[in-house]
Structure 1
Amino acid sequence: MIVRLLLLGYLSIIALIVLAPDPIDSAYRAEEIALAAFLRGSGLISLQYWQMELAANVVLFLPLGLLLTISLGRSRISLWLPPLFGAVVSTAAEIGQLLLLPDRFPSPIDVISNTLGVVLGWCIALPFRRSAASAEIDGPVEGDGRDAEHELSEQRDGFSEQSAV
């Protein structure tokens, strides 16, 4: 339940960021370009502004893949839905920017980098999806073939066999 609430909150934050009338970094663009120029000039890192933006998009969407995969638990849908969902959400956001927000700059590179972020989050979460789905935080896993009544029946049968000996 907590993971699903985090996912809902995160989707809301992403919606606010991608559908804001002005780019979220518009107030800091000059500083970002200056930072990239400083890093290049110092020889520390050779970054261009577009590379910083691409990395920021990947990092922004990585938690979406992580949270979505964990919230789906060990269901088969968790094996394919997060990357598809990431691509659809990213494409819809860029189309929305194109049609509704004249001050935004939609780009196919944004779709690719956003989707890459979701895919990376999905890859990180896949090994943990079973344990997270069965954790007490989210409650029992549905469809695991062992409901409470069946478990009680087995315990009674085992007890009666022991007392009969």
Structure 2
Amino acid sequence: MMVPLVFIAFWPSPVDQPMQSQLAEFLSFLHRSGMPSWFNYKFVEASANVALFVPFGVVSALAFPKKRWWQVGAFGLLISCCMELGQLLFLHNRFASPVDLVTNTSGAVIGALLASVAVKRLEVHRPRAADLQ
């Protein structure tokens, strides 16, 4: 699961660069069709960063079931800090952003909360050993 994160974080150029003009055209079309102006490139980029870390939060919460959602979020922040520091130090065409730290951490927290809710629902609906006898 870390492999896609590493590829996206340390790709030499922004991963959306080849599609920036198409995305701009599509957003322009949406705005002409009535989409609010706040739904812009920055919003799409931030949403993509959140979505990128939701699976990280789910997998981390399931892998470490004793950890609380905020601990998984702190782990997501640590991983995000490492990625942003790597971009700052080693990638000339990329830039580190505090907004990315917030959105990545938010995605990890959302993923952890989703996993927690799913596990609790499964526990409620799972028959107990005493019920099976």
Output the TM-score relative to the length of structure 1.
Answer: 0.68
Once the 2 structures are TM-superposed, how far is the Cα of residue 44 of structure 1 from its aligned partner? Answer: 3.1
Q: Conserved in 2, the CA contact under 8 Å of 1:70 and 1:128?
A: no
Once residues 88 and 6 of structure 2 are traced to their aligned partners in structure 1, the CA distance between those partners, rounded to angstroms, is 15
Q: CA deviation at 1:78?
A: 4.1
Greater relative contact order (Cα < 8 A, sep 6+): 2
Amino acid at match of 1:34: E
Alignment of 1:11-30 (within 5 A): 11-30=2-21
Corresponding residue of 1:67: 59
> Structure 1: how far apart are the matches of 2:93 and 2:48?
19
Q: Distance in 2 between matches of 1:55 and 1:127?
A: 22
Taking the aligned partners of 1:32 and 1:55, their CA distance within structure 2 comes to 14
User: What is the distance in 2 between the residues matched to 1:58 and 1:110?
Assistant: 9
Checking the alignment, whether the CA contact within 8 Å between 1:69 and 1:129 is kept in structure 2 is no
Larger Rg: 1
How far apart are the structure 2 equivalents of 1:112 and 1:78? 18
Listed as ranges, the gaps of 5+ residues in structure 1 are 1-9, 136-165
* TM-score (normalizing by structure 2): 0.83
Q: Which amino acid aligns with 1:124?
A: L
Which runs of at least 4 in structure 1 moved beyond 2 Å after TM superposition?
A: 77-81, 127-132
Q: Which residue of 2 aligns with 1:108?
A: 98
The answer to whether the 8 A contact 2:69-2:109 is kept is no
The 5 Å alignment of 1:41-120 reads 41-46=32-37, 47-73=39-65, 75=66, 77-120=67-110
Deviation at 1:33, TM superposition (A): 1.4
